[in-house]
Chains A and B, each alone.
Chain A
Amino acid sequence: MTTGSIRRGRFGALPWIGPAVLLILVMVVWPAIEMIRTSLHEIDQTGIAKGWNGISNYRSLIHNPDLPQTLVRTLLWVSVVVVATVLISLPVAQILHGKFVGRKFVRYAIIVPWAASVVMTATIWRWMLDGFYGIFNRILQDLGILKEPLDWLGNPNSAFAFLMVVAIFVSVPFTTYVILAGLTTVPDDILEAGAIDGANGWKRYKEIIFPLLRPALLVSAVINLINVFNSFPIIWAMTGGGPGYSTDTTTTLAYKISFRDQDIGQSAAMATVNFIIILFFISIFLKVSNWREASE
């Protein structure tokens, strides 16, 4: 049909895309169905299904005393981390797009948090924030800001704030690179002109460069939205959602209910709710990215 067509075999696309489809069906679609099914079953502590029980897992989830606060916290977690990530990445990308001595080196430095295992990054932050041996307390004391060392991760509020800091820390590199890719579509003379007229610079940025960056921004924001919502290792390695349940998001809560409290039915209900939220985010992604146009 098109000039690009290769000769069709007897089975058409199947031998070519079949294996990939099969792997996705068995390892992605099946667990999703299994999870939803589990959420509608009565499951005993050893994980054995005792038959359908309608929405009663959802009912016990709603009555979980930790749920309301966790929902509010998750909303805060996702919105603060995503908005801050984008707001920080914009100027960072702008700076890294400019020419200066050592730019290449700095660009590589930014890759580190992106490439390194998030759980290991979270562990070094945990160690820096340690109440007894943390370098963070030492620095604040040397600067005269603190008199006594504080247990940053032992207090729910400061712990949650630092979890967000680390989430932003690991999200900025990817976002910066997406914006950098967007900036290469802005003609150099526009950027140069913006750089020379100091007073006019901001206006130019707002009126010319920013609109050109919009697609990159939207796409990176939605990808971050999904990643941050799903983020598990940072919370797990730094606070375990604690003290108590005070720094859990719905993602870590679902995990805790299942693998710590052994209430698999209720956990599947929580996870199914999360699943639906992610599907909703994906539909936003499809809308903002016009991916079909790009792929054809």
Chain B
Amino acid sequence: MTMAGSSTKRFTGRKVSLTISGWVIGAVFILPYLYMLITALKPKAEITKIPIDYLPSKWSWDNFTEVWHVIPLAGYLKSSFFVAFSATVLVLIFAVPAAYYVARNKFRGRTAFLMLVLITQMFSPTALVVGIFREMIKFHLVDTYFSLILIYGAFNMAFSIWILSSFFASIPVDIEEAAWIDGASRFGTLRRVILPLALPGLVTAFIFTFIAAWNEYVIALTLMSSPEREPLTVGLTSLIGQYQIQWNFLFAGSLIAIIPVVILFAAIEKYLVGGLTAGSVK
């Protein structure tokens, strides 16, 4: 009896320490963003108070309405949304057929193709920014949305190809064969039979590409020179260093950019690891 009692006690002790350490970890990773929110809610005068206060004296929720007038947030959002959405559509149009073919066929050059895809996944555009800039000058695409869409599309296609081909491969071939017998074309089968079944994969590919393009910084910083075409990441940070930057508005804008993508990201969490490690972790 006593034995069982002490082991239960030890067990609850473990449980408590596990819970506490779990919550501490959660706090460490969330605190900077909480402080972002606190700063965003401070009245202007309290941003540059020495010493700085922990909390605002008055929670200025209206900063979130005022921010749209103080900085060109709507323009940044529009640029980011347009570029990210277009890049995502481009990726899906190109990745779906490639992933489907790879999932269903052995063909000459399959390994070479997968290798090419993997290598692009490993390269961030940062590594090639000097070459990208020179290429875009040649094509007269500097300072255009089109340049960003092409680059984000190319560099993010790998993830979608991995995730989609693993979804396609898991769909039994019999289902397709039944559709062929009914006289459906290959493309028709893909559209009407396979894609609906692979919907979680499509959603994951969509969200992942969208967020990657939404968050990208280096290429946008380098290629976009007109303030009215800057996406969020570049627009918001370009406010730093300009005279009298208002950090509360900067962070209000940042939170407006961050919160939706965190929610979307959490929604696809269970598929992320597989796609990012290219099927190497089971």
Contact = CB atoms under 8 A, between A and B. Distances in A.
A226 B50 CA distance: 40
Contact of A237 (B117, B134, B237, B282): B237
Interface in B78-119: 90, 93-95, 97-98, 100-111, 113-114, 116-119
Nearest to A128: B35
A17 B222 CA distance: 30
A109 B29 contact: yes
Contacts of B105: 4-6, 8, 13
A103 B23 CA distance: 8
- The residue among B51, B176, B250, B277 with the most chain A CB atoms within 10 A of its own CB is B277
Given A6-B104, A17-B101, A219-B280, A124 B36 contact: yes
A1 B134 contact: no
Interface in A138-156: 138, 141, 149
A141 B272 CA distance: 41
B176 A6 contact: yes
B128 A28 contact: yes
A32 B100 contact: no
Interface string A213-230: 001100110010011001
Q: Chain B's interface: helix, strand, loop or mixed, by majority?
A: helix
A282 to B, nearest CB: 5
Nearest to B48: A133
Interface in B11-27: 11, 14-15, 18-19, 21-23, 25-27
B52 A134 contact: yes
15 contacts: A5-B104, A9-B186, A17-B98, A20-B97, A28-B123, A31-B134, A35-B134, A120-B257, A132-B50, A232-B218, A254-B130, A274-B127, A275-B128, A278-B122, A295-B165
Interface of B: 7, 10-11, 14-15, 18-19, 21-23, 25-27, 29-30, 32-33, 35-36, 39, 47-52, 54, 90, 93-95, 97-98, 100-111, 113-114, 116-120, 122-124, 126-135, 137, 150-151, 153-155, 157, 161, 165, 173, 176, 180, 186, 211, 214-215, 217-218, 221-222, 232-233, 236-237, 240, 247, 250-251, 254, 257-258, 261-262, 264-266, 269, 272-274, 276-282
